[in-house]
Amino acid sequence: MKSVVRACLFSVLLLAGAQAAAFVMDWDRVVWSADGSAGQYANADGSAVDVSVTITLSDARYDGSDASVVRGTDGAASLMLSMDAPNHSDRYSHYMDVRIRFSRAVSGVGFDISGINYGSSGNHGQGNSGYAFDDLIERIEGSVAGVGVAANVEFSPGSVAASVLTTENGGSTTGYSGVSSAEPGSLIHVSWETGVVDDVSIRYATGPRARNNPSAQFIGLGGVDFNPAVPEPATWLLGIFGFVLLGLRHLMGNWRLGSLISGCVKV
């Protein structure tokens, strides 16, 4: 009996593992709305998971010189986010929120954010001194069923500065900014690889080191890795059904009933 149980358990694990392969949401496969504020990728990379993306700007504009979303300019599978903040902008007034939602809970979520740097220093006739622009990534958040899941942020030592910043409501968030004005800028890897999530988001903002009326700035988002490691209900039901049949066979000694369990019972 023990050998039979082990065989069936192995089969169930194989079924679950078949759904645990890593997938990638390439940005060039996302179908976008006309204004670029929302995107959909059904059955992303053949995973049976649908992914939706929403991009919200602090001033609700997606066209013109104020802000834009440009696809395919930072690699075929990447998304470039660009902003050109108006006068008197700061991280509280000019930002872009990117939210990625999965149709069911997934694990192993991670992606790169590249091009993090700042512009040349000086007031440039704008009335105050500071960098021409200042990329800032903050509010890196994740959740599952509305319950927060902490993110992990990795970067090469000395390439990115991490600092605790105050939010509008008096809370705090960790912000990540470049330590150099050199192109192509620095990179961070954001992940929820040790947890399960169905909703993740970041904020791209005008950093506090920028001058008044910052110039255009941009970053790139790499493809989103994820792993549908939470099996579909049918997988577990199949496993439970198999164990129930095994139990009945063991109790009743019915050879025909046992033979119904394909691959688990051998005469």
pLDDT of residue 9: 39
Is residue 162 pLDDT above 70, yes or no? yes
Pairing mode of beta strands 38-41, 51-57: antiparallel
Number of other CB atoms surrounding residue 204 within 10 Å:
27
In the DSSP assignment, the letter for residue 134 is B
Answer yes or no: are the C-beta atoms of 228 and 19 closer than 8 Å. yes
Residues 6+ apart with CB under 8 A from 204: 81, 83, 95, 96, 97, 98, 135, 136, 137, 219
Pairing mode of beta strands 186-206, 31-32: unpaired
> What does pLDDT average to over the chain?
76
DSSP string, 23-92: EEE-GGGPEEPTTSSEEEETTGGGSS--EEEEEEETT---STTSEEEEESSS-TT-EEEEE---TT--TT
Tell which residue, 46, 210, 25, has the closest CA to residue 112: 25
For the stretch 86-118, pLDDT in tens is: 777 767 778 889 999 999 999 999 999 999 999
**Residue whose tokens read 């958040």:** 141
**Quick one: what percent of the chain has pLDDT higher than 70?**
67
Is residue 65 pLDDT above 70, yes or no? no
pLDDT of residue 236: 41
pLDDT of residue 168: 78
Residue 244 confidence class, pLDDT cut points 50, 70, 90: very low
For the stretch 110-161, pLDDT in tens is: 999 999 999 988 765 555 678 889 999 999 999 999 999 999 999 998 999 9
For the ranges 44-53, 147-156, 247-256, the lowest mean pLDDT is seen at: 247-256
Is residue 243 pLDDT above 70, yes or no? no
Tell which residue, 230, 228, 233, has the closest CA to residue 51: 228
Instruction: Write down all domains in the chain, each with its CATH number in brackets.
Output: 1-19+231-267 (no CATH), 22-227 (2.60.120)
Q: 208-222 b/e with 16+ CB inside 10 Å = b?
A: bbbbbbbbebbbbbb
- Phi and psi, residue 239, nearest 5°: -65, -45
pLDDT of residue 62: 46
Cross-strand pairs, 199? 101, 143
Residue 48 confidence class, pLDDT cut points 50, 70, 90: very high
For the four alpha carbons of 18, 19, 24 and 30, in that order, the dihedral sign comes to positive
pLDDT of residue 204: 93
